[in-house]
Structure 1
Amino acid sequence: MSSIPTPGPRSYPTAIANAFTQDPFGGNPAAIIFLDPSNTLTQAERQKLAKSLNQPIAVFLTPTPASASRPGVVSFEIQHFVANYEVDLCGHGTIAASKVVFDSVTNSPGFETHTLEFTTTEGVVISSRQVVFEDEEWFEIVLPAGKARDATGEEEGRILVAFARAMGKEPRIKYLGVGEPPFQHHLLVVFEESENIEHLKFVDAKALDASGFECHVVTTDSTSGKFPEDYITRMFAPSGGEDEDQVCGSANCTMGPYWAAQKGITELKARQVSERGGKLRVGVYGDNIRLRGQARVTSLGRLFL
């Protein structure tokens, strides 16, 4: 059987793990909190905990009963909270949770955990499994592929003004795409590679709010030879309370299909060139994205409330 950390009365096992990296100072951190199915931790308390823990995301996991007909599958209800509100989905939080859970599993004869299933508040089931690339452990989650339509003329004008004010100069942008549901809050901004987004700085990041979008997914091709990946990226969401998302997994739900179409391939490597940085592998298969990342656990403990 599995040895998932066990909560006690108002006592909750916790971990902090960095997603999309093996560097203790890289990737995107997430706090993972294990709950008991009968726990009395209210939604308001979960929100307060997310704010108190002061991590980019707090992930709450509640185990659900195992099914005898599905050996090897361990299931959880999953909730994601940023400091001030709950979010429907967080790729980096789910990758981090996968690392913590798989590290906690002890396999016994006749029982081998090979798949995790996370069910969100909205009823979306995210499957997760361990995979190996170049003899290294990665974690793969399956997410919906996002489509992006061309920005309209009115949208384009508004977006260009917002970026010009944020950057303090005219941006060199080659394509603007607007995410379609469930990624309608994503704005895909493909810069000319000469823009060098690794060193992109904003004089006023809050000016991006005028674009009308929450998540500004910035990307360029990677042909200069500096990075071996197929594309590089950054993500800015100042209206969400944090100017830059250090490594955003779900942003690749819209970027992946775009770059797959541009390059004529289904398997891509990506690098987020934020201050902490991270590496991702993205598989584009029809309506699904196979998002893969490594993770590093940096802290284990217990919360007492």
Structure 2
Amino acid sequence: MAVDTVWNHSTVLLNEAVDALFGDSGQYADAAQGTYVDATFGRGGHTQLILSKLGTQGRVIAFDRDPDAVAQAQQIQDARFSIRHEGFSHLRELPKASVAGLLMDLGVSSPQIDNPVRGFSFRFDGPLDMRMDTTRGESVAQWLETAEINQIAEVIRDYGEERFAGPIAKAIVARRQERGPISTTTELAQLVADTVKTREPGQNPATRTFQAFRIFINAELEELQQALEASLTVLQPGGRLAVISFHSLEDRIVKQFIAKHSREEYDRRAPFAVPKAMRLKALDRVKPSEAEVSGNKRARSAIMRVALRTQEP
């Protein structure tokens, strides 16, 4: 797989995220020798900055499902760095309490959006693919060849929060029956535009449908939930978790996960038993600065939540 050198990418919350992983400057000497995980390598902005802060014993382990991102990562000539061509749910395979800092930068990267061949964007004509990992699984076009109306509507409604999910699903199946399945991004975008007659100012009618199909075909929310659960095992006491989300579905999962594990758990069946100690401590909620949003419009919806892995009881 050739390294993608055409499509530019601006890392969102670059300094804020890395600072969140390392914590207070007084702990820097110890932190610099730890193991850090960049769970979504992308084009390596966060990884490169983490490496610049590490000592000789420090280490960065990165994950990414995208073959282009993995090819980019393999260009890093640093013995302290390794890349795994896997989704970040595979975090669970790392040794228990081995990680000092874990970063998840969710969503889709600019090179994926801007490359028409990947099929993520309604702004470019390309195959209706949307897979993060193009080496496995079925594309959106392949799924739509056989999916039933109710299933399509459920995906659009649940993952896109689209109130016109039913009519869009009916239009997709009707088109399939009349002229064959949809195979390109522009075909899907036009069909949605013809079906959705009203939309918020400035938003393309296909925005929510494209988001829904991308999340579904990559099982993004399930992957996130598995990775968050794994973080409780792989983070060492005092280790830090930082998660950058770009839409409400992701952020809601992260927020609820941190909140759940930031309080003591009582067993209602044994009211006098000692409660389980909280496993996380919520530290911060960070949004991009006005300057960053001005320079990178894709940063405007980003929210980073930071938590600390507490001591085991």
TM-score of the aligned structures, taking structure 2 as reference length: 0.24
Higher RCO, 1 vs 2 (CA within 8 Å, ≥6 residues apart): 1
Question: Greater strand share, 1 or 2?
Answer: 1
TM-score of the aligned structures, taking structure 1 as reference length: 0.25
